[in-house]
């Protein structure tokens, strides 16, 4: 009898959660997806809703840059956790040129379309940038899907928000559409503080490899130095040389943080 009562309560709670999700915008639903993952709650209903929404409805719903940023950051981070929690061995194939590649193979369904992590990061979030160009080259033939969902400018702070499953990645936060810019400032400062080594006696600063891989997004070396000053990582009058740390690709899941 006790087990039956517990099953009924859990069933009612699940139904209540589904009804609550029906009232959320898709940006808010992406926040709920991250929170469910962090708290060990089911995600299947949210995943199904994100997969089945029409492109038109999703585009209409993501009607501000704040909603767009929050939605795609949360979706990227959530699906890395979902996919690699189910099959961590997939991460071993992240550099494959032929066959399956964890980042470039379509394995996420959003608005009826199968897309890859690269499609989200470089196509939508980075506005159709060529992945291996350091941010200096744009894809001259972007697809209609990414053109529909991308926004006007590349925000370098997103590199300190996207978590690809590696130990050197930023922490995972639930990005709120109403607070996303504030949150991106917070996570950028925290990540730079955690990963930057400044040696004033050598006039040298060592930063995460992300600032090399996507150097055009940061405005080159001068832009990276400017960002370090903006977030008070180095003194305002410093003009150090810039070096980069090796990236630790050890798989590390579940690195959530409240921001």
Residue-level pLDDT at 78: 98
Structure token digits, residue 239: 């003009």
The three-state secondary structure class of 204 is strand
Higher pLDDT: 146 or 6? It is 146
Q: What is the DSSP letter of 138?
A: B
Residue 234 neighbours by CB under 8 Å, 6+ apart:
196, 198, 205, 225, 228, 240
Rounded-to-integer distance, Cα 198 and Cα 216, Å: 22
Residue the block writes with tokens 């926040």: 31
What share of the chain has pLDDT > 90, as a percent?
88
Strands (E), 186-245: 197-199, 204-207, 241-244
Residue-level pLDDT at 100: 86
What is the per-residue pLDDT across 47-68, written as a single tens digit (0 to 9) for each?
999 999 999 999 999 999 999 9
Q: Place 221 in a pLDDT band, splitting at 50, 70 and 90.
A: very high
Rounded-to-integer distance, Cα 133 and Cα 216, Å: 9
- Phi, psi for residue 66 in degrees, rounded to 5: -60, -45
Q: Place 10 in a pLDDT band, splitting at 50, 70 and 90.
A: very low
Please calculate the CA angle 48-66-126 and round it to the nearest 5 degrees: 80
pTM reported for the whole predicted model: 0.91
What is the per-residue pLDDT across 109-141, written as a single tens digit (0 to 9) for each?
999 999 999 999 999 999 999 999 999 999 999
Question: How are beta strands 241-244 and 204-207 bridged, if at all?
Answer: parallel
Res. 14: pLDDT tops 80 = no
CA 238 remoteness from chain centre: 31
Please calculate the CA angle 115-152-58 and round it to the nearest 5 degrees: 45
- The answer to whether 30 touches 74, Cβ cutoff 8 Å, is yes
Number of H helices, E strands in the chain: 10, 5
Residue-level pLDDT at 85: 97
Res. 12: pLDDT tops 90 = no
Residue-level pLDDT at 23: 78
DSSP for 151-214?
Answer: -SS--GGGGGT---SBTTSPPB----TTTHHHHHHHHHHHHHHHH-EEEGGGTEEEE-THHHHT
- The answer to whether 163 touches 169, Cβ cutoff 8 Å, is yes
Q: Place 6 in a pLDDT band, splitting at 50, 70 and 90.
A: very low
Residue 83: CB atoms within 10 Å: 17
Structure token digits, residue 75: 């979706």
CA 210 remoteness from chain centre: 14
Torsion, Cα 86 162 43 6, to 10 degrees, reads 90
In a 10 Å sphere around its CB, with 0-12 CB exposed, 13-18 middle and 19+ buried, how is residue 258 labelled?
exposed
Residue the block writes with tokens 């600063």: 205
């Amino acid at each position: 009898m006790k087990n039956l009562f517990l099953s009924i309560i859990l069933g009612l709670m699940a139904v209540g959660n589904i009804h609550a999700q029906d009232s959320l915008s898709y940006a808010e639903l992406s926040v709920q997806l991250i929170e469910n993952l962090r708290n060990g709650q089911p995600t299947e209903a949210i995943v199904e809703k994100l997969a089945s929404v029409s492109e038109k409805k999703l585009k209409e719903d993501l009607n501000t840059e704040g909603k767009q940023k929050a939605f795609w950051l949360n979706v990227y981070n959530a699906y890395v956790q979902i996919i690699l929690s189910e099959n961590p061995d997939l991460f071993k194939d992240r550099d494959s040129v032929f066959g399956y590649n964890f980042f470039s193979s379509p394995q996420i369904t959003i608005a009826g379309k199968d897309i890859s992590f690269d499609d989200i990061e470089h196509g939508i979030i980075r506005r159709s940038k060529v992945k291996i160009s350091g941010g200096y080259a744009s894809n001259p033939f972007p697809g209609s899907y990414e053109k529909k969902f991308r926004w006007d400018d590349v925000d370098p702070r997103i590199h300190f928000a996207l978590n690809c499953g590696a130990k050197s990645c930023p922490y995972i936060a639930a990005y709120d559409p109403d607070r996303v810019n504030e949150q991106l400032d917070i996570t950028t400062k925290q990540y730079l503080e955690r990963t930057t080594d400044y040696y004033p006696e050598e006039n040298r600063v060592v930063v995460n490899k992300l600032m090399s891989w996507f150097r055009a997004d940061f405005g080159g070396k001068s832009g990276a130095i400017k960002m370090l000053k903006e977030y008070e990582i180095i003194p305002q009058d410093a003009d150090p040389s810039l070096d980069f740390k090796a990236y630790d690709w050890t798989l590390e899941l579940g690195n959530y943080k409240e921001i």
